[in-house]
Structure 1
Amino acid sequence: MEKGEQKQSREKLCKTCNQTYNPASNTCSSCRFHPSFFVCRRHDDQRRYYELGPDDPPYAAKFYDCCGAEDPGAPGCTTNFHVSYDDD
């Protein structure tokens, strides 16, 4: 194995999804993430109802601004290549 091939096969840390990955198997759908933040505010469409906690004000909605998923642990709604901290 050449020096460049060894470097390419070592696992790296993705700065987008914070997962380790092998650059040799990195594809356009390897990294799954939310491109926006998890927010707590009234949703723009105002037609959906959200589960509120006991201490939440009645207008609060908690969701990802990009896709509307209400679970902070929801899988990402967007996929792309992993991006390493080594990549510039």
Structure 2
Amino acid sequence: MESGQKAEERVGEGDERIEVCKRCKITFSTSSNSSSSCRFHPSFFVCRRHDDQKRYYELGPDDPPYAAKFYDCCGAEDPEAAGCTTSFLVSYDDV
């Protein structure tokens, strides 16, 4: 009888699925996904001289003088910085 109840619970939940976003790695339910749910960086965290040749990015003591570490999309220097772009959450199952 318990297995029948579990099946009814799953049917009663409708199309609700729990997914993991492949961009920001948070767990979400498909029904709560909106155009501002995912916050991410669309580019990579890089270590190189900035294109404009200025050295206004903070360098570590072991970094060569030409190196800069930042997100290429927004210039944030902290690798753990909140994303600069928002969009819908994207599941690994999405194509």
Structure 1 residue aligned with 2:64: 57
Computing the radius of gyration over CA atoms, which structure comes out larger, 1 or 2?
2
> What amino acid maps onto 2:34 in structure 1?
T
Q: Sequence identity, in percent? A: 70
Q: Deviations over 1:13-60 (max 9, x none)?
A: 011111111111100010000000000001112335111111100000
- Root mean square deviation of aligned Cα: 1.9
Q: Kindly tell me the number of residue pairs found equivalent between the two proteins.
A: 87
- Structure 1 stretches of 5 or more lacking a match? none
Amino acid at match of 1:52: L
Q: Determine the structure 2 residue equivalent to 1:23.
A: 30
Structure 2 gap segments, 5+ residues each: 1-8
CA distance in 2, matches of 1:51, 1:7: 50
Residues 76/46 of structure 1: CA separation in 2 closer, same or farther (3 Å cut): same
